Amino acid sequence: MTQAFEPQAQPTTLLFHKPYGVLSQFSPEPGSVWGTLAEHIPVAGVYAAGRLDADSEGLLLLTADGRLQQRLTDPRWGHWRRYWAQVEGTPTNGALERLNQGLLVQGQLTLPARAALLPDPDWPPRTPPIRHRLKVPSAWLQIELREGRNRQVRRMTAAVGLPTLRLIRVGIDLLDGGPAFDLSGLGPGQWRGVNLNEAQRLRRLGRAGPPGKPRPGRRA
């Protein structure tokens, strides 16, 4: 475990750059080859507020505040999550329009998204590396969602003929007018406790009343 910044003595909410191959939980799954948060986070009593699949990377927020955890995962709040997806194939305007308007995934229509071509972010290579097919190009997309069904980004890009090769969550927006939480200063496997301003924003969110009608979905 490596640490990007000097932590609080016992942080109750923290940001973690989850590497590839790590489950969003502290307990191993029987027979699984994936690692766990326990190998990176030595803080007791915190749990992931929202999940990333083991083969996805990027920003994970962990907290000991059960009410905050519920607010961040309940789709009624509709916080935008920003992902960078490296996809196989060449995205067309039609494919991006379908992603933005919402499309049928496992028999259910997704909420409208924000999808756009992304210049190559020159992100450090993944270990293990993604697969490459010499005669098939790849491209990067930025995709923002307000919901998080199981493997949603991957299912959405596959539905428009663009299989996801690599998926990184790079930001979470609290919709309070403040800056998004992001991976600034955090390399893979690094974490930090939230600062005072971030803690105040999250505390306000934890105290907020329900904003509206529930919508389905839990994980992207």
What residues are labeled active site?
53
Please name every residue paired with 142 in a beta bridge, in sequence order, or none if there are none: 84, 116
The one-letter code for the residue type at 168 is I
Please count the other Cβ atoms lying within 10 Å of the Cβ belonging to residue 27.
9
CA angle 191, 202, 73 (to 5 degrees): 80
- 114 to each of 49, 82, 111, how far by Cα in Å? 22, 9, 10
Closest CA to 173 of 138, 203, 201: 201
CA atoms within 13 A on the CB side of 218: 7
- 166 to each of 1, 23, 88, how far by Cα in Å? 23, 16, 10
Measured between its terminal Cα atoms, the distance across the chain in Å is 25
